[in-house]
Amino acid sequence: MQLNEEGHMDVRESNDGLATVFTYERFRAYAVFGRLQRKLEDVTMRDFERGQVQRQGARDFIAGFHCQDPLELTVVRMSNAEASIVGCALVHEKLQQAVRRFIDENGFVSQPPQQPFIHQTRTAITLVETTNYRNCSWIGAMLQVTPDQAWGAARYSNFRMMYLGERQQDAILVAAKRFGLPLGMLANMFS
């Protein structure tokens, strides 16, 4: 487990100083703060399955999922064009490349992250993603699949429910099939 002295997720600045990198075992998240003039409906997420833009008060957000690696990008844009990108994956190099490509293709202007952004992102990732990662490791062992398969299926089913509006059962079965989880065992859960 890659934890610091206090027993928490490891948090570092990227080499260029524009991203905050969160690491927990094999899980990695990149968080970038900045500005995005383009509306989320108009952003490019090449090679990603893309969800619908969601609205929550003064903020819009969109997520995209890349099944091959697997990795997920979530982009938040405030009404004043302040924005952030958070990407999560187990394949660190692919994640960094995907975040960089999004920045380059969409005119996202990175700014050095401020403490409130780092703290808020760290809190959300620690509460949700570390638990998800641990649960996926346990589920992978139970289903006799790799942690990558279990993590990919869990993240993809969540993406399909939250951003594509699929029913839970349908999203889980599609994700299980896509990531090679034993369908027989999962089908019994829904019968």
pLDDT of residue 191: 46
Residue with tokens 């999560």, as numbered in its chain: 88
Domain limits of the chain?
Answer: 10-186
pTM of the model: 0.88
pLDDT of residue 4: 42
User: For residues 61 and 189, which has the higher predicted lDDT (pLDDT)?
Assistant: 61
Please state, rounded to an integer, the average pLDDT across all residues of the chain.
88
Q: Which residues contact 23 (CB under 8 A, 6 or more apart)?
A: 2, 9, 10, 11, 12
Residue 160: name the closest of 185, 179, 141 by CA.
179
105 and 2 Cβ atoms separated by less than 8 Å: no
Helix axes 147-164, 168-178, angle to 10 degrees: 140
Q: Which residues contact 127 (CB under 8 A, 6 or more apart)?
A: none
Kindly list the distances between the CA atom of residue 94 and the CA atoms of 57, 72, 101, in Å, as whole numbers in the listed order. 32, 11, 10
The average pLDDT across 176-190 equals: 76
pLDDT in tens, 19-58: 889 988 889 999 999 999 999 999 999 999 999 999 999 9
Reported confidence tier of residue 151, pLDDT bands at 50, 70, 90: very high
Q: Is 80 exceeded by the pLDDT of residue 188?
A: no
pLDDT in tens, 84-128: 999 999 988 899 999 999 999 999 999 988 888 888 888 888 888
